[in-house]
Amino acid sequence: MNKKIRIILDIAIFISVIQGWWIPALALSAFGSWYFPYYFEIILAGIGFDALFGMVNTMGIQGYFGSIISISIFLIMYFLKKIMR
């Protein structure tokens, strides 16, 4: 059952990133990061979003916000899970 949920969640995140809907992708990724023990797909979603819509030389650090936010959410959820579980 967990594999089905993970696959459905990954497909929904992939569609959100491809369409450029970063807020639903973050919400789904935060849920996946909380629900599953190691949910590295959140980092891949951030890198994918930056590859599609960021990473332009003229943007500076703003071109990497997707990766920075996804890694920070992953780390926050990881440490919260360690404290609470």
pLDDT at 11: 93
What is the full per-residue pLDDT of the chain (85 aa) written as tens digits?
Answer: 788 999 999 999 999 988 988 889 888 988 888 888 888 888 888 888 888 887 676 777 777 888 888 889 888 988 988 888 7
Domain boundaries, the chain: 2-84
> What is the distance of C-alpha 51 from the center of its chain?
13
pLDDT at 1: 76
In single-letter form, the type of residue at position 58 comes to T
SS (H, E, C) 55-82: CCHHHHHHHHHHHHHHHHHHHHHHHHHH
pLDDT at 64: 81
User: Token pair 């059952």 is at which residue?
Assistant: 1
